[in-house]
Amino acid sequence: MKEKYEQLLSIFREIQVIEQISMLLGWDNQVVMPPKGVEQRGNQMAFISKLQHEKAINPKIGELLKEIKESPEYKNLSYEEKRNIYLMQREYDRVTKIPPEFIAEFTKQQVLTHEIWKKARQENNYEEYKPYLKKILDMGKQFANYLNPDLHPYDVMLDYFEPGMNREKYNKIFTPLKEALVSLIKKCLESPKQPRVEILNRKCPIEIQKKLSLDVIPLINYDLERGRLDEAAHPFTTGNYDDVRITTRYLENYFPSSFFATMHESGHACYDQNLKKEWRYQPIGNYCSMGIHEANSRFYENIIGRSIDFWKFYFNRFKEITGTLFEDVELDDFVHAINNVQPSAIRVEADELTYNLHIILRYELERDLMEGKVTVDELPEVWNQKMKELLDYEVKNDAEGVLQDIHWSSGMVGYFPTYSMGNIYGAQFLHKLSNDIPNWREEVEKGNIKIMTDWMKKNVQEKGNLYDPAELVKAVTSEEPNPQYLIDYLTEKYSKLFNL
């Protein structure tokens, strides 16, 4: 049986190597590819994608999995080996349960809908987008039914993007979080102590911003011997193990855009670099979930990067690099400005406090759409009502409302909640870290940020895909995911900032 197990691992390794090639082509596509190389790159990507799919649906995988699980020796396998079998079975089911002709049709529909969405957003024309969105949602339900006809389609999709999650669990987590956030945001906005946000809009040359990014990266232990920083229209991270690349975006009149994008992407990159060497190319040697990935990036960006403790150490260094640009700015004013609370239309521009309400809004809309409680016709109106109700924000038009995100046009219904789960997991990890290292704040103030990144490496990153997300959180913190830790973290932090 060991021989069959090794055969499976060998096939999985090949699939992983193809995936790495695909990631590299994708990176090149967004960073350095000449504009006229698009068609050629499309052919390359299509070929790689086809090759990967053919490997993944090889009937030999199904035969080997069946033989191993039916063998009397199966019970003698270690937990790690059984987890590998489970993950390979899950992946094999995902790629073989869906008919190839449906995949082709769904992919084609996503490409078409994406193009229509771009045009509709530009022209603020929801009516044009509406029939395509309806088609994508219907096909999404069909996709879910192929995977598991016994479950509600939205539960299937929620589990697809964050294993183990469903509507019941999300409702239980998001309800108390929503109530607490609406109340806390209101208090912050009504506080007489408001930040001087204009200090962040000073013109900061891109060369200086690049220096800042390259200066902060080693502090948070992202290894540039095994990675690189480039510029792209949208910040992203790609790769794994010894080749993990990040990009950032520079805005001359708003340096926090690049600085915090660099910290965010470095968090993703550290996770991918710190996956266990001995598990490379095995399913357990992969990342756990999108939510856990987001927990890492937001931990680095917000919990470390926007904390007073980090800036007590880094502010003088920051002033040295930026010259006279911020010489008249006090530390407390600066930290308050980078933690401003301001309800706004656009999710990706939202602050740490309002961000989760943007996610909860999308989750509730997806859920109601998939349950048939809201129709595609009613969607813009319900979106705008919820923005008013949750964030007290009046949406001006559909371009800044229902048309702003790429996800639905790409068929990614059920993905949004993973962003907030990242914040929930991250705050729970911080609570455990605080118990393990009670003096972490003092250490960070002295510049020892490694104390936090090492804790994340040992407790979260090196565990790879050994557990499903909720199990990982329980293994690390001895408790199921609990939104109260995020509520407590945000309440404590923003009460100090706004003198509540």
Catalytic positions, written as ranges: 265
Q: What token pair was written down for 158?
A: 């929620």
CA 498 to mean position of chain CA atoms? 28
Three-class HEC string of 115-159: HHHHHHHHHCCHHHHHHHHHHHHHHHHHHHHHHCCCCCHHHHHHH
82: left (phi over 0), alpha (psi -120 to 50) or beta: alpha
Our CA angle for 50, 52, 53, nearest 5°, is: 65
Ligand-binding annotation for 268, yes or no, is: yes
Residues 82-125 have pLDDT tens digits of 999 999 999 999 999 998 889 889 988 998 998 899 999 999 99
Q: Residue with structure tokens 């409680």? A: 373
Which candidate, 234, 225, 244, places its Cα nearest to that of 20?
244
The gap between the terminal CA atoms of the chain, to the nearest Å, is 63
How is 278-316 classified by DSSP, letter by letter?
GGTTSGGGS---HHHHHHHHHIIIIIITTSHHHHHHHHH
Two structure tokens written together for 280: 């490379």
Q: Which residues of the chain have pLDDT under 70?
A: none
Give CA–CA dist 250/359, Å, rounded: 25
Q: Which residue has 């969105």 as its token pair?
A: 133
pLDDT at 214: 98
Q: Give the separation between CA 91 and CA 97, rounded to whole angstroms.
A: 10
264 among annotated binding-site residues:
yes
Domains of the chain by start residue, with CATH: 2-150 (no CATH), 151-500 (1.10.1370.30)
pLDDT for 104: 84
**Three-class SS state of 500:** coil
Contact of 383 with 400, CB cutoff 8 Å: no
413-436 confidence digits (pLDDT tens): 999 999 999 999 999 999 999 999
234 is in an annotated binding site: no
Question: Phi then psi for 98, rounded to 5 degrees?
Answer: -100, 120
Q: How far is CA 198 from CA 259, 302, 329, 336, 337, in A?
A: 17, 20, 11, 12, 8
CB 451 within 8 A of CB 195: no
Give the predicted TM-score (pTM) of the model.
Answer: 0.96
- Per-residue tokens: 46: 């299509």
